[in-house]
Amino acid sequence: MVDSNPGTPRSTLETLGDRVRQGLSASRLGGGVRTLVRFVRHSRLYRWFTTEPEPNVIVIDLRETYTVGPFIRLLDRCLEGLSDAATDSKTADVVARLETAFRNRPLTVVGLATAVTVLVSLLVSVALGRLGTALLVTHAALVLVSLLGLRSERTLEELTETRAWTVLAAAFEPPEPPEKR
């Protein structure tokens, strides 16, 4: 039910909403966003991701092809050598510790990495003399968000049980093959 009395909070909000919509539709920012959306929707990558799978899918084992097979075999040999060397590697030890830290407190690890990256970016921007107000505000906002992540004590297992994780997993999950339907 729409309140038609002028001066009421509902009519004021509706008028304000109409003005914002009109302003966005006529603004350069709105035009830029519409153009960006049009470019993305007409891109090959977007169409590739959003096409329905064909019911008669043919699977080709690339290891058996003449063009890609030799590269895959070479990659397998290289990775075997790396996996043998990784048992005594200090780098593998550091990666294993990072993995453990990520499983125990993923938001803390991501927040720390983000804070360090943003601070390095800020220092580079200052050194190059390219620091503007918008860039400074963006850096400050990213640092604040990353600091919020540092305070989290949730484990990876707890995060995967949240509703946000379920929605993200459903969005990026491939469709079921036709045989299973």
8-65 residue pLDDT tens:
666 676 777 777 777 767 778 777 888 888 888 888 887 877 777 677 767 778 888 8
Indicate the DSSP class of residue 87: T
Number of H helices, E strands in the chain: 9, 0
What confidence score (pLDDT) does residue 1 get?
Answer: 47
Q: Which tens digits make up the pLDDT trace of 101-136?
A: 999 999 999 999 999 999 999 899 888 888 888 888
User: How far apart are alpha carbons 92 and 86 in whole angstroms?
Assistant: 6
What confidence score (pLDDT) does residue 48 get?
Answer: 78
pTM, whole model, 2 decimals?
Answer: 0.50
Task: Provide CB contacts within 8 A for 14, sequence distance 6+.
Answer: 2
